[in-house]
Amino acid sequence: ILAVAEFWLNLGVDGFRLDVVNFYTCDRQLRDNPIRPADKPRPAGASAEDPFFSQLNIHNFCQPETIELLKPIRRVMDKFSGSTTLAEISSAEDTILTSSEYVGGPDRLHMAYNSSLMTDQPLTRDRLHTLIKRVEESFGDGVICWTAGTHDFPRLKSRWSKYHPSDDFSHEAFDHMFAALIIALRGSCCIYQGDELGLTQADIPYEKMKDPFGIQGYPSVLGRDGSRTPMPWAADQLHAGFTSAEEPWLPIPAEHLKRAVDRQEPHQDSLLNKYRRLIEWRKQQPALNWGTIQLTQSEDPVLGFVRECSEQRLLCLFNLSVETAYYDLANHPECKAADETDFQSRRYEDTIELPPYGVYFGNLALE
């Protein structure tokens, strides 16, 4: 396996994503897992109906010896300057702590993502504040890769839309706010294909399903096909421009066509173009590339933190509600808005007014 990796690195690939790396070893004695106690919560992102989590998965993965297997992988990667590894940590009882163990040091992997943002719990200020604090305490100098969607989880728009009013404005405002949040957190980030378009979870008829897990658990367990439908490139083309085949692997929902790439590209205020601008803007902000993160004492529903390096201090504010919210800038009178992000928050003397699902970025004086 290491020789195969080195072969591709010699051809110039930038690195590898390691699928469910915490599943690489299991208990040598092949002991059975115990039944999950009624008072033991399921891991982040685990469905209440999924029988896999009816037991405590302590013997079939997340074994200590897996960490030793990372060392030869890292030695190969270190031969190629600039190469990287991205680990998927899945189904762990403590997804944050486990993922931090796989990136904690020069002989482990470069970065890891986990399911901490892939739940259907409401995205609140307090939940995010606690999550960021835990990540910072667990990861130290290790790098988390933030993601809110993969091919194994329902789409983020459908998971969280039930907590918003039904009007289109609230849904769009939330999507734009989340795009700003995920690029502002310390670490790397991955955007799952279609989330940058605002695609919803597809409802796949049973006869069209391909996911063995979804077929076996139907109808009580939600399968994964709903987040695996083809990318809609062109709304008016056959199969939305994804393929010229007679039939794609999975059908494309009609509601996805209005969010196709060619429908969003001409509009500067589309979600797709917002992601593009934010990603480009992020590259130009030293604090977002390598700065630390310090949570502020913001009040619900505003999540606030400062990203800081020797060249920049950036205040980042996010309104996690459908109501207008305010943030006191009395301690930062010198704050100057970063207008390049096109968010519509306003400043009145020492107060920032954030509209529903509003965002504010402001440059602070260097200390």
Domain boundaries, the chain: 2-281, 291-364
pLDDT given at position 196: 98
Q: Which two tokens stand for residue 222?
A: 């939600």
Cα gap 290→120, rounded to integer Å: 30
Local structure of 218: helix, strand or coil: coil
From first to last of its 367 residues, the chain has per-residue pLDDT tens of: 999 999 999 999 999 999 999 999 999 999 999 999 999 999 988 988 899 999 999 999 999 999 999 999 999 999 999 999 999 999 999 999 999 999 989 999 999 999 999 988 899 999 999 999 999 999 999 999 999 999 999 999 999 887 877 777 678 999 999 999 999 999 999 999 999 999 999 999 999 999 999 999 999 888 999 999 999 999 999 999 999 999 999 999 999 999 999 999 999 999 999 999 999 999 999 999 999 999 999 999 999 999 999 999 999 999 999 999 999 999 888 999 997 888 989 999 999 999 999 999 999 999 8
List the beta bridge partners of residue 302. Answer: 319
Local structure of 87: helix, strand or coil: strand
Cα gap 199→203, rounded to integer Å: 12
CATH superfamily of 2-281: Glycosidases (3.20.20.80)
Quickly list H helices, the chain: 2-10, 66-77, 95-101, 125-139, 156-161, 168-184, 212-217, 254-257, 261-264, 271-283, 286-290
Q: Which helix (H) or strand (E) element contains residue 308? A: strand 302-308
- CATH numeric code, 291-364: 2.60.40.1180
* Residue tagged 């965002």 (tokens): 359
User: CA nearest 147: which of 187, 104, 174?
Assistant: 187
According to DSSP, the β-strands at 302-308 and 111-113 are: unpaired
Cα gap 218→206, rounded to integer Å: 8
Q: What phi and psi, each to the nearest 5 degrees, are found at residue 315?
A: -85, 130
User: CA nearest 327: which of 309, 293, 300?
Assistant: 300
β-sheet with 302-308: strand ranges across: 292-295, 302-308, 313-319, 359-364, 336-337
User: CA nearest 115: which of 86, 153, 142?
Assistant: 153
CA dist list (Å): 222 to 89, 96, 230: 21, 24, 19
pLDDT given at position 52: 93
Cα gap 89→98, rounded to integer Å: 7
Q: Which two tokens stand for residue 218?
A: 């139907």
* Contact between residue 155 and residue 117 where contact means Cβ atoms under 8 Å apart: no
Cα gap 60→57, rounded to integer Å: 6
pLDDT given at position 111: 98
Q: What phi and psi, each to the nearest 5 degrees, are found at residue 155?
A: -65, 145
* Contact between residue 120 and residue 138 where contact means Cβ atoms under 8 Å apart: no
Cα gap 134→146, rounded to integer Å: 13
Q: Residue 284 CB: number of other CB atoms within 10 A? A: 9
List the beta bridge partners of residue 346. Answer: 353
pLDDT given at position 108: 97
pLDDT given at position 68: 96
Task: Give the angle subtended at the CA of 142 by the CAs of 141 and 144, to the nearest 5°.
Answer: 125
Quickly list H helices, 54-185: 66-77, 95-101, 125-139, 156-161, 168-184
